[in-house]
Amino acid sequence: MTGMGVGTTAVAVAGLRLAWAGERAQPETVVLDDFTLAVPPGSFTCIVGPSGCGKSTLLRVLAGLLVPDGGTAQVGGADVRGRPGACAWLPQRDNLLPWRRVLANATLGAEIGGRSRAEAEAEARPLLERFGLGGVERSWPSQLSGGMRQRLAVLRTFLIDSPVLLLDEPFGALDALTRRRMQTWLQEVWLDAPGERRTVLLVTHDVEEALLLGDRVVVLSERPGRIVADIEVGFARPRPAELVSDAAFVAQRAALLAALGA
C-alpha cells in the first residue's frame, strides 16, 4: 500500500466546479460550484445531503472518472483530474458481474489494477471469511442475499491496493436491521485491516450511519452542493450499534437533521 507522510492530506479538492450542459436552449445544471474539502489520512468522513446535490459526482471526480470544469482534485498530493486509479471506488450500485463467481468478483478490481488473478485470489481467500462470505466463493452473485452482495462489493473495493476508499451508499438498498449489522461490520474490518489505516469517504442518506461510522460528517446543501455543516464525531471506537440511543448521539443526530433541513 502506498504510504503517505504525516501531515499530508489524503484527499483535497478546492474550488471545484462541475456543470452539465443543458440540452438545446436549456440552462446548464451546476452540480458543484467552488466546492472545497480536505481530509486527513486514515480518517473516516461521511457525506450526507439531499438527493441530486452532487455527492456521487464528487466521488466520481475523485475516482478520476469525471473531469471538473474548474478547481483542483488531489489524492495523496497527486492530481487525479481525469486520471482513474488513485482511489478504490464502490459505485452507488454494486456492479457485480453476474457471470463471475463470488471469488472472481472479489478480485475484479485488483485485476483491473494490474495484479494477476492468482495473486489477487491468494489475498482474497482469507478475507472471504472475515467478510462473512466463507463457503460461498464458488457461488454466483444471483445466489447471494442483498447483504452478502454488498459485503462482496465492499471486499472487492478493499482488495484494490489504494489508500483511499470511496463508498457511495454501500448499504442504501438494505433493510434497517441488515444495514445496522453492516455498519458495525464495516467499522470492524476498517479498524482491523492490517497496514496503514485507509482513508474513507462514505456517502449516505442515513444520518445514524454517518454518526456511527464517521470521524466527521459533512452535510451538503441542495444542488449545487455546498457544505452547510461539518461535524466532528468524537465517540470512542469501536462504536457499538447501541450507541444510537446514547443521549450525546441523539443530540448530534438532531443537529445533523436540522442542518439537512429535515
Ligand X SMILES: Nc1ncnc2c1ncn2[C@@H]1O[C@H](COP(=O)(O)OP(=O)(O)OP(=O)(O)O)[C@@H](O)[C@H]1O
Strand-strand pairing, 216-220 and 227-232: antiparallel
Nearer to ligand X, 111 or 222 (CB): 222
Nearer to ligand X, 128 or 153 (CB): 153
Cell, residue 68 = 471538473
**Nearest distance from C-beta of residue 16 to ligand X, angstroms:** 12
Nearer to ligand X, 92 or 184 (CB): 92
Question: Does 57 participate in binding Mg ion (rule CB under 5 A)?
Answer: no
Alpha-carbon separation of residue 151 from 89, 158, 215 (angstroms): 14, 10, 22
Question: Does 183 participate in binding Mg ion (rule CB under 5 A)?
Answer: no
Question: Does 187 participate in binding Mg ion (rule CB under 5 A)?
Answer: no
Nearer to Mg ion, 56 or 74 (CB): 56
Candidates 89, 34, 49; CA nearest to 66 is 89
Candidates 55, 62, 108; CA nearest to 86 is 62
Cell, residue 33 = 460550484
Euclidean distance between CA atoms 109 and 115, whole angstroms: 9
Candidates 169, 162, 242; CA nearest to 204 is 169
Residues forming the site for ligand X (CB under 6 A): 20, 29, 31, 49, 51-57, 92, 223
Nearer to ligand X, 37 or 136 (CB): 37
Euclidean distance between CA atoms 198 and 164, whole angstroms: 6
The helix (H) or strand (E) run that includes residue 156 is helix 146-158
31 binds, among ligand X, Mg ion, none (CB under 5 to 8 A by kind): ligand X
Among 9, 56, 157, 199, binds Mg ion (CB under 5 A): 56
**Nearest distance from C-beta of residue 55 to ligand X, angstroms:** 4
Which stretch in 53-61, 71-79, 241-249, 254-262 sits in contact with Mg ion by CB under 5 A? 53-61
